Amino acid sequence: MEPTASQVFCGRVLGMVNTEDINAIILAQKNMLDRFEKTNEMLLNFNNLSSVRMQQMNERFLHHTKMLVEMKKDLDSIFRRIRWAKGRWSREW
């Protein structure tokens, strides 16, 4: 039985392919895959560390915000007392 036209074409294309070049391409792809996996792992570690740090900084920020709000209330109270005392003192004189 004679080969069909498609079989002849495939055979000729396969005959044009250099096995050493194919092996070199496969090796390069494996090396790149290893690099990408290492880079991906490094990025995951960085994201995890950043997330933890962000949570810590968020807690500190909330604490400092609460402290500033309390300080403002205290200062408002102090200035209100000072104004009251000045008003009382000026009326007495």
Q: What is the pLDDT of residue 62?
A: 98
Tokens of 21: 């070049």
Q: How many Å apart are CA 76 and CA 89, to the nearest integer?
A: 20
* pLDDT tens digits along 1-52: 888 999 989 888 888 888 899 899 999 999 999 999 999 999 999 999 999 9
First to last CA, the chain: 128
The pTM of the full predicted model, rounded to 2 decimals, is 0.58
